[in-house]
């Protein structure tokens, strides 16, 4: 083949993926953004808010595709199988890249099968109890638990969920015992907490906030290293003596493994520009989500650390959800 003919040959004829030819023009078509939950709710809101702003920054439409089911497995597998050309992204979060890898065997590797692009933000979990329960503070609640072992139950959004593992971490660090009642989702779990069928739980702050403000449940403590701006009168669990206690419902962006570095940088730079917008920060803060901009390497390290932490807890509490 002559040199002139070789230069005109398509990437496919040269045995190269098509994105090699189009990389310099990225993005030149709409980008699919997979959200691994059904439409509606906090995770979907975060994804749509990001896509709306990021599409303006990079100059290309971003189409949200809600692929719920299997605790994020369907969305993750779809992402892993997509071309690594930057036109299929996924909102990785604490379930897909944290608690699920810690508690069950998955058809994907949460680290090796993905390209980390950047962190969006997180919302803490909050220890709440039924409004009619006698204890009014975290200190009195801990005393109440120790005096009534096994008499209280806690709800969760499902076995292996962050709400489940956070409560098990709490039990382990406080040396207390509560009965676990798993639900199919956070909404029915909160409904039964309000009704008194369960007595406490660890929902994400975004989901719990309307009920806390309405007086239907009582906030006793938040996870994290500092008090939350929306609940300044509620102490952290660390203040209550549980050193290093942390649990975050976090959201980030990943793509298929081996995405080109130039595209990853372009997307990360675009995310940084969005997260730096004051009104975007205000929009997510109103939903209890605090922004956490990170470079891809920082985000990768964060995910590895989160998986390791929840894996250690799952082993300590003998939590294995494989069928």
- Looking at residue 289, the DSSP 8-state letter turns out to be P
The pLDDT-based confidence of 42 (bands split at 50, 70, 90) is confident
The C-alpha atoms of residue 305 and residue 209 are separated, in whole angstroms, by 28
Q: May I ask the CATH architecture of the domain 29-122+250-316?
A: 3-Layer(aba) Sandwich (3.40)
Where in the sequence of the chain do the CATH 3.40.190.10 domains occur?
126-222
pLDDT of 50 strictly over 60? yes
Q: Quick one: pLDDT at residue 15?
A: 52
Per-residue model confidence as pLDDT tens digits over 130-175: 999 999 999 999 999 999 988 999 999 999 999 999 999 999 999 9
Average confidence score pLDDT of the chain: 91
Confidence band for 69, pLDDT divided at 50, 70 and 90: confident
Among residues of the chain, what percentage have pLDDT more than 90? 82
**pLDDT confidence of residue 147:** 94
Q: How confident is the model at residue 71 (pLDDT cuts 50, 70, 90)?
A: confident
Range 204-213 average pLDDT = 93
In the chain the beta strands, taken as DSSP E runs, fall at 31-35, 62-66, 88-93, 114-124, 126-130, 153-156, 179-182, 200-201, 217-222, 248-256, 290-291
- The confidence score (pLDDT) of residue 19 equals 44
Q: How confident is the model at residue 322 (pLDDT cuts 50, 70, 90)?
A: confident
Of 178 and 244, the one with more pLDDT: 178
End-to-end CA, the chain: 56
All residues at 6 or more sequence positions from 160 whose CB lies less than 8 Å from its CB, including other chains: 71, 99, 100, 102, 103, 104, 319, 321
Going by C-alpha positions, the residue among 90, 24, 54 that lies closest to residue 270 is: 54
Higher pLDDT, 318 or 322: 318
Report the pLDDT averaged over residues 176-202: 95
Instruction: Please write the tens of the pLDDT for every residue from 96-139.
Output: 999 999 999 999 999 999 999 999 999 999 999 999 999 999 99
Residue 24: pLDDT band with limits 50, 70, 90:
low
Instruction: Provide the pLDDT for residue 6.
Output: 36
- pLDDT at position 23, please? 52
Q: What is the pLDDT of residue 1?
A: 41
Give backbone dihedrals phi and psi of 64, rounded to 5 degrees, phi first: -80, 130
- Angle between helix 205-213 and 186-195 (nearest 10): 30
Residue pLDDT, tens place only, 270-321:
999 999 999 999 999 878 999 999 999 999 999 999 999 999 999 999 999 8
Task: State the span(s) of the chain assigned CATH 3.40.190.150.
Answer: 29-122+250-316
Q: Give the homologous superfamily in CATH for domain 126-222.
A: Periplasmic binding protein-like II (3.40.190.10)
Is 87's pLDDT higher than 90?
yes
């Amino acid at each position: 083949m002559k040199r002139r003919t070789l230069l005109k040959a398509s990437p496919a004829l040269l045995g190269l993926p098509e994105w090699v030819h189009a990389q310099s023009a990225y993005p030149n078509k709409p980008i699919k953004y997979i959200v691994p939950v059904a439409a509606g709710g906090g995770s979907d809101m975060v994804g749509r808010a990001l896509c709306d702003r990021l599409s303006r920054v990079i100059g290309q439409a971003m189409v949200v595709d809600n692929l719920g089911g299997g605790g994020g497995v369907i969305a993750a597998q779809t992402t892993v199988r997509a071309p690594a050309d930057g036109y299929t992204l996924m909102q990785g979060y604490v379930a897909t890249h944290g608690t699920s890898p810690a508690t069950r065997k998955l058809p994907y590797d949460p680290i090796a099968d993905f390209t980390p692009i950047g962190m969006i933000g997180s919302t803490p979990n909050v220890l709440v109890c039924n409004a009619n329960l006698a204890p009014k503070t975290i200190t009195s609640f801990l005393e109440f638990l120790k005096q009534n072992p096994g008499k209280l139950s806690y709800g969760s959004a499902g076995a292996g969920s962050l709400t489940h593992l956070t409560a098990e971490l709490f039990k382990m660090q406080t040396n207390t015992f509560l009965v676990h009642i798993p639900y199919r989702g956070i909404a029915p779990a909160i409904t039964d907490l309000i009704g008194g069928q369960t007595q406490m739980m660890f929902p994400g702050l975004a989901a719990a906030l309307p009920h806390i403000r309405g007086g239907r449940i009582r906030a006793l403590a938040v996870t994290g290293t500092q008090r939350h701006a929306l609940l300044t009168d509620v102490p952290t669990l660390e203040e209550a003596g549980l050193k290093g206690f942390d649990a975050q419902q976090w959201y980030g962006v990943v793509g298929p493994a081996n995405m080109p570095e130039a595209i990853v940088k372009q997307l990360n730079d675009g995310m940084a520009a969005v997260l730096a917008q004051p009104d975007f920060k205000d929009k997510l803060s109103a939903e209890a989500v605090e922004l956490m901009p990170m470079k891809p390497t920082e985000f990768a390290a964060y995910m590895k650390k989160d998986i390791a932490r929840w894996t250690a807890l799952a082993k300590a509490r003998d939590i294995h959800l494989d069928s």
